[in-house]
Amino acid sequence: MTVDDLRKRDLIILECISGSRAYGLNTPTSDTDIKGVFMLPKEEYYGLKYTPQVNNETNDIVFYEFGRFMELLYQNNPNILELLNTPKSAIIKKHLLFDEITTELILSKLCASTFGKFAWSQIKKAKGLNKKILNPIAKERKSVLEFCYVNYVHGAIPLKKFLSINGWKQENCGLVKIPHMENIYGLFYAENSGFSGIIKGENSNDVSLSSIPKGQKQEALMYFNKNGYSTYCKEYREYWDWVQKRNEARYENTKSHGKFEYEELLKMAEEKRNIMELAFKNSTLPDKPGFGVINELAYRLRDEYYEV
């Protein structure tokens, strides 16, 4: 079932503009998000074709079947509570049955958890965005060689610097594992030796081992920071995936406006959370909505809708 199917079959009983446009916070390039509720025909609801949710490919348009909508309301789901309380100016279509579904029947202390988790997820999202904006990752991908270090004098230096000092090429190097020393290798060097090199190519994701002739002199010990390389690859992939998919207009708008530093934002959020927890502790709200009341309401409203 598609959104077009819902419209053609006149199954939509609630349709609202959501997101920034519902509250006058949109910019000229903001998307128009639509959320709503539909009622399956009786034969599909009672039969084997139950459809809990319908959305378009970009998830800008989402409709919940009435039963799923009531279930999420019972759970005090933030998105569904927002949908129930959409400003009148943003309501496109609303069936009369929604007049009986009031916020007073739904709200409970569950909101401390559901809204709290949602808020913290947004804080984490802000942290990730802040990191991406302030610490962009170069398009040219680093190779394994840049995560390798060699013992030198009384310390260690990057492998590339070690090779440069000696005028060596990585292709002429050979590596062997050092027993009982994870990610540490014996490094050998000889031109025209047939060694495999430290890596076989720029796209290699690990070092290469070689067969070393007996009596060949070991030149140094080399350490491959494998965990560091794995972390870099993950962050590189996530960053450039974000760059490819990000909304450029929204990104430029975010950069051009003053932003709270993340630590300051986190401090503010912690203060708000403490206030919220105290408010819920002293609240007269029930611990959770009355299941019997919500269940009876869902049954009665659906039954009345089908009888019309």
CATH code, 58:
3.30.460
Q: In this prediction, what percent of the chain has a pLDDT beyond 70?
A: 90
Asked whether residue 204 is assigned to any structural domain, the reply reads yes
Structure tokens at 102: 């009031």
How far lies 61's CA from each of 35, 69, 203, 211, in Å?
6, 15, 41, 60
Mean pLDDT over the full length of the chain: 89
- Clarify whether residues 294 and 205 are in a common domain: no
Residue-wise pLDDT tens digits, 253-306? 555 555 666 677 778 888 888 888 899 889 999 999 999 999 999 999 999 999
- Clarify whether residues 52 and 180 are in a common domain: no
**E runs forming strands in 39-168:** 53-55, 61-65, 91-94, 148-152, 155-158
Domain that holds residue 207: 144-230
Least confident of 50-64, 101-115, 123-137, 148-162: 123-137
Confidence of residue 30 (pLDDT cuts 50, 70, 90): confident
Asked whether residue 153 is assigned to any structural domain, the reply reads yes
- Clarify whether residues 11 and 95 are in a common domain: yes
Sheet holding 61-65, edge to edge: 53-55, 61-65, 33-38, 12-18, 91-94
- Clarify whether residues 179 and 247 are in a common domain: no
Asked whether residue 120 is assigned to any structural domain, the reply reads no
Name the more confident of 121 and 249.
Answer: 121
Supply the pLDDT for residue 128: 59
- Clarify whether residues 260 and 300 are in a common domain: no
- Clarify whether residues 223 and 154 are in a common domain: yes
Asked whether residue 123 is assigned to any structural domain, the reply reads no
Asked whether residue 75 is assigned to any structural domain, the reply reads yes
Q: How many domains does the chain have?
A: 3
- What is the rounded distance in angstroms from the CA atom of residue 101 to the CA atom of residue 81? 11
- Clarify whether residues 90 and 211 are in a common domain: no
- Clarify whether residues 28 and 66 are in a common domain: yes
- Clarify whether residues 50 and 169 are in a common domain: no
**Sign of the dihedral defined by the CA atoms of residues 209, 214, 219, 222, in that order:** positive
Nearest to 8 by CA among 41, 49, 34: 41
Asked whether residue 215 is assigned to any structural domain, the reply reads yes
Asked whether residue 37 is assigned to any structural domain, the reply reads yes
Please determine, for residue 19, whether its predicted confidence score (pLDDT) is greater than 80. yes
Name the more confident of 267 and 127.
Answer: 267
Name the more confident of 115 and 141.
Answer: 141
Half-sphere exposure of 99 (CA within 13 A, CB side): 3
Once rounded to an integer, what is the mean pLDDT over residues 136-151?
93
Supply the pLDDT for residue 27: 78
Asked whether residue 116 is assigned to any structural domain, the reply reads no
- Among 191-205, 215-229, 233-247, the range with the most confident prediction by mean pLDDT is 215-229
Contact criterion met (CB below 8 Å) for 185 and 224: yes
- Clarify whether residues 302 and 184 are in a common domain: no
- Clarify whether residues 26 and 101 are in a common domain: yes
Least confident of 43-57, 80-94, 261-275: 261-275
Beta bridge partners, 55, equal 62
Element (H, E) at 67: helix 66-74
Please determine, for residue 138, whether its predicted confidence score (pLDDT) is greater than 80. yes
Contact criterion met (CB below 8 Å) for 35 and 16: yes
